[in-house]
Amino acid sequence: MTFAEFLDQVGGMGRFQFIHTMLLSIPIVLMAGHNLLQNFTAAIPGHHCQIHISTNSSGYPNTTWPLEASDLLRVGIPTNSKEEPEKCWRFVHPQWHLLDSNSTKANQTEAETELCADGWVYDTTTYTSTIVSKWDLVCERRKLRDMAQSIYMAGVLVGAVVLGGFSDRYGRKPLLIWSFMQMAVMGTCAAFSPNFISYCIFRFLSGMALSGFGLSIACLVVEWIPTKYRTITIAVTGFVYTLGQILLAGLAYGIPDWQWLQLTFSVPFFVFLLYSWWFAESARWLLLSGKASTAVKVLQRVARVNGKEEAGASITTEVLLSNMEKELSTAKASYTISDLVRTPAIRRIFCCLSIVWFSVSFSYYGLAMDLQNFGVSIYLIQVIFGAVDFPAKVIVTITMSYIGRRISLASFLILAGIIIIINIFVPTDLQTIRTTLAVIGKGCLAAAFNCTFLFTTELYPTPVRQTGLGFGSTMARVGGIIAPLAKMMEDYSAALPPIMYGAAPILSGIIACFLPETLNVPLPDTIEEVENRSRKKTVEEIAQEKILLQSPEKALFKEAC
């Protein structure tokens, strides 16, 4: 018997699988929130220099004090080309003559100006407080705001590299529990950060925790779900992530204070920590880690929850070991990232998936930067970004179930790239068409990401599944970090960034064609199993070619096709 058959014996897709998957999916809602949280907690409100005007100032007009706020701005702050108050400059001396309705732009250009020396005044209409207004991350300090998000992404990257390996070595459940605790504590500490440096440190550690529980959830879901239900299960978790994007917009709209919003997305992890003890460790991992007796207990527990207690009782350590002897005989006690490149089939999978993960993230974040120019509310943009994922993920779920993972992934990647490049040639005044194409492209990339996630968990064998998924997530974070740098290329040519964002998914779509198909194929439990499948396929292809060579008519038919 294979492990998949043991899984069917204890209930298949039973009550345990439904409860297990549901409880694991709830934290995914807040995962989306943490990834995009700084869109709101680090939003830049309207601002201008603090104005200090005394009634004893030279040239003070003979008028009633206090003056209207608009008059104070006019005499204290210069305006830009759009007739808006400058954000980083103020007049050294009040320009009372500008209150005259006949004054012109030329009247203020001769006046002496200076940088904001006494702080800023922030518009609290939309955001009552953000980290920008709290620590004055504007003007010459504005780059610190972007650095905070980069530090968070760096934490996600480090977490994917470090914690992915820990999960394969020490188990999925221990890492999940630790990551929940780390996210709860660090996320809460970030809300009460006394200064910007401590905020960045807490956000970095939160990013690490997010990678930890994200990777553990993925493996625990996939490794407990029967083969024929994996596609729909991963699709559901993808929809949950999309729901989290929309929920973020609603909560951010209702909670305009950054500290309360940070707490809203962090405190629930204390609750997740409490019920995480109920989760079952992956029996696949336990068995291949030499803990067969514990694996039997876990399988019997699952059988009881699924109402298959008699079937579970028939599974003993001896039965499990004798049926899994082949897999266990080839299993190693310890695996490292070097095992991802040690053998030819795994090495090919590793290289192809690394490029795919990088390209999906690189183009996704590159496209998201262009979509910021909608000219509408940031809350509406967030909803649109989330809503487009629903039809995209429904379509990719259908195609993955009936056409296959490889064709689905390649098709969505290539289509996304083509749409991004086509948008280069659409005139800028046709904003509706440009926006529509951009949203469709984003949807294709969301579908490709969903497919990549499932494809990765199915291609890697159990001992290195978490490590492989972790490295793929790492490449995605690298792509997300490099995307803004590619945006800088528009200083040389406006077409360069979209060309790069479009070419990357097209190239990775072609590379994805070299991956093996996994539709309705059981999860591999050892590296040797993956290698054997690859060699078997090669032998079959060679035999088929020999048959075609012996039959000219068939060869011509194949060439015509």
Q: 3-state DSSP call for residue 329?
A: helix
Per cent of the chain over pLDDT 90 is 14
Cα four-point dihedral sign 174, 281, 290, 288: negative
Query: Exposure pattern of 456-480 as b/e (b: 16+ CB <10 Å)?
Result: bbbbbbbbbbbbbbbbbbbbbbbbb
Rounded Cα distance between 353 and 512, Å, is: 8
- Residues pairing with 85 in the sheet: 79
Q: How confident is the model at residue 457 (pLDDT cuts 50, 70, 90)?
A: confident
The tens digit of pLDDT for each residue in 159-187 reads 877 776 777 778 888 888 889 999 999 99
Which tokens hold the place of 26? 């709830």
Determine the distance from the C-alpha atom of residue 193 to the mean position of all C-alpha atoms in its chain, rounded to a whole number: 25
Mean pLDDT, residues 468-477 taken together: 81
Mean pLDDT, residues 421-435 taken together: 81
Are 48 and 85 in contact by the 8 Å Cβ rule? The answer is yes
The tens digit of pLDDT for each residue in 477-509 reads 888 777 767 776 766 777 888 889 899 999 999
Helices (H), 78-124: 105-109
Residue 535 reports pLDDT greater than 80: no
Report the CATH architecture of 341-525: Up-down Bundle (1.20)
Which tokens hold the place of 465? 């599944």
User: Which pLDDT does position 446 carry in this prediction?
Assistant: 87
Residue 93 reports pLDDT greater than 70: no
- Residues pairing with 49 in the sheet: 120
User: Which pLDDT does position 261 carry in this prediction?
Assistant: 92
Residue 79, φ and ψ in degrees, nearest 5 = -110, 155
Q: How confident is the model at residue 417 (pLDDT cuts 50, 70, 90)?
A: very high
Higher pLDDT, 365 or 257: 257
Rounded Cα distance between 70 and 124, Å, is: 16
Residue 129, φ and ψ in degrees, nearest 5 = -165, 140
**Of 203-212, 370-379, 499-508, where does mean pLDDT reach its minimum?**
370-379
The tens digit of pLDDT for each residue in 61-87 reads 555 555 566 666 666 677 766 667 777
Are 198 and 247 in contact by the 8 Å Cβ rule? The answer is no
Q: Which residues contact 551 (CB under 8 A, 6 or more apart)?
A: none
Q: How confident is the model at residue 553 (pLDDT cuts 50, 70, 90)?
A: very low
Q: 3-state DSSP call for residue 89?
A: strand
One-letter identity of residue 193: S
User: Which pLDDT does position 372 carry in this prediction?
Assistant: 45
**Of 48-62, 203-217, 309-323, 401-415, where does mean pLDDT reach its minimum?**
48-62
Instruction: Report the mean per-residue pLDDT for the chain.
Output: 78
Closest CA to 277 of 206, 163, 180, 185: 180
Tell me, what DSSP letter sits at residue 53? Answer: -
One-letter identity of residue 256: P
Q: How confident is the model at residue 60 (pLDDT cuts 50, 70, 90)?
A: low
Give 549: exposed, middle or buried? Use CB within 10 Å, 0-12, 13-18, 19+.
exposed
Rounded Cα distance between 361 and 154, Å, is: 14
pTM: 0.73
- Give ranges for CATH 1.20.1250.20 in the chain: 1-27+141-332, 341-525
Per cent of the chain over pLDDT 70 is 79
Q: 3-state DSSP call for residue 56?
A: coil
Cα four-point dihedral sign 474, 162, 180, 221: positive
Which tokens hold the place of 405? 């993972």
User: Which pLDDT does position 359 carry in this prediction?
Assistant: 92
Closest CA to 176 of 281, 264, 263: 281
Residue 554 reports pLDDT greater than 50: no
Count the neighbouring beta carbons within 10 Å of the beta carbon of residue 178.
19
Residue 414 reports pLDDT greater than 80: yes
Domain 1-27+141-332 falls in which CATH fold?
A: Growth Hormone; Chain: A; (1.20.1250)
User: Which pLDDT does position 357 carry in this prediction?
Assistant: 92
Q: How confident is the model at residue 559 (pLDDT cuts 50, 70, 90)?
A: very low
Omega within 30 of 0 (cis) for the link into 66:
yes
Q: Which residues contact 540 (CB under 8 A, 6 or more apart)?
A: none
